[in-house]
Amino acid sequence: MRHKKYGALIALNASLVGVLLLVSLPAGAEAQQGTASTRGRGNYTMVAGQIQGSSEDAVWIVDAANEEIMAMRWDLSRQDVQFLGFSPFSMSPNQ
Distance CA 91, CA 63 (A): 11
d(CA 9, CA 12): 5
Cα–Cα distance, 55 to 90 (Å, whole number): 30
Q: What is the pLDDT of residues 63-93, one digit of tens each?
A: 988 889 999 998 888 889 999 999 998 766 6
Tell if the pTM clears 0.85, that is, is over it: no
- Dist CA 8 CA 47 (whole Å): 68
42 CB-near residues (< 8 Å, 6+ apart): 63, 65, 66
According to the model, what pLDDT value does residue 56 have? Answer: 83
4-50 residue pLDDT tens: 788 888 999 999 999 888 888 877 766 666 565 667 788 899 999 98
User: How far apart are the C-alpha atoms of 90 and 67, rounded to whole Å?
Assistant: 6
pLDDT at 95 > cutoff 60? no
Report the pLDDT value the prediction gives residue 40, as an integer from 0 to 100: 73
